[in-house]
Chain A
Amino acid sequence: MRSLRHYARLLVVQMRTSLTLAVQYRLDFFLEGALALFWLAITLIPLLVVFSRRESVAGWSFPEALVVVGWFSVLKAVLDGGVTPSLNFVVEGVRKGTLDFVLLKPADAQFLVSTARFEPWRILDFLGSIGVLVYAFHRLGRAPRVGDLMVGFALFAVAVILLYSLWILVVSVSFRVVKVDNLSYLFISIFDAGRWPIDVFKGALRLIFTVVFPLALMTTYPAQALLGKLTSAHALLAGTGGLAFAAIARFVWKRALRAYSSASS
């Protein structure tokens, strides 16, 4: 109980520090906020282009596909605002050896690095994405059912866990190879494919995006849940997948810490 309180306090302190850092440079803060909204608008362009020529793609109508994009953007906002900054902090720490200071603190190192940095202005991105989701349902002419919404929320948690676990795996690699900038670009590029419903992909790619890099579990399934189209088997698969990835990530992280060689003085 005491340690739970300790970690809750730590989280508050870490978030407060990130906020203080963010507002330290005012112009930067506003620019980042504006950029976040700009990129959200850009995200919609491919979809608008495709659907300007046809009514449906792989069985998905425009508003339905918009639900996937909205969901993808919500997740991307969480990734950009809550996950990527922290993990970039680790990669930097490994390269420069400043991760030493994290490992010398009496708290779980994975918790510390995962909460090290947040980008508060991404909240704009997040709200904008919710706006896209609301608009999509408005186009559909109905609101999601309460039950579907609940499953959607649960899958949102699963998606965040999946995303975070994958990032932890990428970062764990940095303990061995030190420089992983390109790996993180690759990660972000692959994640970008999540804006499309999984049915758009065929064959091996579909399998990879369901099992190896489970984009389907992150964006398509939750969107299907909101639309009331997800089977319980798929919901269960997503839940199990999330837990499995979290366990694997924790295991790999622990192993990777052993390989940390710090940087020379």
Chain B
Amino acid sequence: MIRARELCKTYRVHRRPPGLLAALRSVVRRRYEEVRALVDVSFAIAPGERVGFLGPNGAGKTTALKILSGLLYPTSGSVTVGEFVPQERRSEFLHMITLVMGQKQQLLWDLPPAETFAMNRALFDLPRREADATQKELVDLLEVGPLIGKPTRQLSLGERMKCELVAALLHRPRVLFLDEPTIGLDVSMQARVRDFIRRYNESTGASVLLTSHYMEDVAALCPRVIVIDKGHLIYDGDLRTLARRIRPEKRITMHFSSLPAPGELDRLGSCVARSELQATLAVPAAQVTEAVRAALGRLPISDISVEDPPLEEIMQEFLGGQPANGRVKSA
């Protein structure tokens, strides 16, 4: 469905030191620097797949999405989405995709979302009955019925994002590019947006390419992740496999009914968090059963749970310790 081959994107940016003097100097003589936003990035995404783009700020995730949606021209390399080259902006291609950006909105600020929907219906030349049915379905799914008649500027951030999704999906795209769709939303709203995206993907078979700063989004939605750092693709594969490879350990969190004997905890694993009646241990995955059994036998346990290490922590370690052009082979 989507294929990117040796994608490179270089921006030419004007750079100057801070301060008035430097600013004045830059009026006469500008210094430009080349920033390589993407370097030889290649991947392929199948129809119906949900893939997460991960990477720190400025890694090149948004640039990649914008190239895939035809907004930016790659400096070199090639992209196809379906049978189309995005940059040609063919009508069939634009009917097939959508791009949702958490930081920008297409809703008309002073008018109710329903006006934007009407405009998109005309823009995509959608037959009235079909468009009405889709709009009703999306509005019901996202529970925004009472909102679409209110001016956009009076809606909350979460309400606006839900209406954005309606506007972006009215033409029933088969490829969804989602650039931080849950940014700034509260936890329950994030969960609802996530849930909606998954249901849309499952019911329509659309491919979803998502970037997000919330690891929860990616973990819940995307079985496969592509990690980009400083423009380089450093991992492409299963998220759990990556997590296991970076941190081949489990976390055992224990609550105690009384203080455990000193030294007992250290024998089970390395302690990562400790308070008086609670402790979290990091234990190699293979030894978890044994460690739990030992803990239950020797310690005054009132509650115990076994979890994977937090994904945020794993990614931090992965990106922090990764050479810029290194690459972890996919699983």
List the interface of chain A (C-beta within 8 A of B): 6, 9-10, 13-14, 17, 20-21, 24-25, 96-98, 100-101, 103-107, 109, 112, 258, 260-265
Which residue on A lies nearest to B167, using beta carbons? A101
Is the beta-carbon distance between B115 and A261 smaller than 8 angstroms? no
For the complex, give the distance between the alpha carbons of A21 and B66 in Å.
30
Contact B122 A13 (CB under 8 A): yes
Given contacts A13-B122, A98-B104, A265-B101, contact A104 B69 (CB under 8 A): yes
The one of B104, B108, B118 in contact with A100, judged by C-beta atoms closer than 8 angstroms, is B104
Cα of A100 to Cα of B98 in the assembled complex, Å: 11
Chain A positions within 8 Å of B108 at CB level: 17, 21
Q: Cα distance A244–B179 when bound, in Å?
A: 41
* Chain B residues whose CB sits within 8 angstroms of the CB of A97 once the complex forms: 104
Which residues between 63 and 87 of chain B lie within 8 Å of chain A, taking CB atoms? 66, 69-73
| Distance between Cα atoms of A90 and B125 in the complex (Å) | 23
Q: Which residues of B contact A17 (CB under 8 A)?
A: 108, 111, 115, 119
From known contacts A17-B119, A104-B71, A106-B123, infer whether A96 and B111 are also in contact, taking CB-CB under 8 Å. Answer: no
Q: Which of A20, A96, A265 contacts B179 (CB 8 A)?
A: A265
Known pairs A104-B94, A105-B94, A105-B120; list 5 more (Cβ under 8 Å): A6-B125, A17-B119, A103-B70, A262-B66, A262-B71
Describe A's contact surface by its main secondary structure: helix
Q: Which residues of B contact A (CB under 8 A)?
A: 11, 62, 66, 69-73, 89, 91, 94-95, 97-99, 101-106, 108, 110-111, 115, 118-120, 122-125, 151, 179-180
Whether B123 lies near A105 (C-beta < 8 A) is yes
Instruction: List chain A residues, Cβ under 8 A from B123.
Output: 10, 13, 105-107, 112
Closest to B116 in A: A17
Could you say which residues of chain B place their CB within 8 Å of the CB of A264?
A: 62
Cβ of B251 to closest chain A Cβ, rounded Å? 33
For the complex, give the distance between the alpha carbons of A32 and B268 in Å. 77
A78 to B182 alpha-carbon distance, docked (Å): 42
Known contacts being A21-B110, A103-B89, is A258 close to B73, with CB within 8 Å? yes
Given the known A-B contacts A6-B125, A265-B180, are A106 and B91 also in contact in the complex, defined by CB atoms under 8 Å?
Answer: yes
Asked if residues B115 and A20 are in contact (CB atoms below 8 Å), the reply is: yes
> Do B115 and A98 have beta carbons less than 8 Å apart?
no
The 4 closest A-B CB pairs, nearest first, are A106-B94, A101-B106, A106-B91, A13-B122
Complex interface: chain A residues within 8 A of B125 (CB): 6, 9, 106
Which of A9, A96, A262 has the most chain B CB within a 10 Å cutoff?
A262
For the complex, what is the distance from the CA of A207 to the CA of B267, rounded to whole Å? 92
Bound-state Cα–Cα, A120 to B137, Å: 35
16 A–B pairs (Cβ distance < 8 Å), ordered by A: A10-B123, A17-B119, A20-B115, A21-B108, A24-B110, A24-B111, A96-B104, A98-B104, A98-B106, A104-B69, A104-B71, A104-B99, A105-B94, A261-B72, A265-B103, A265-B180
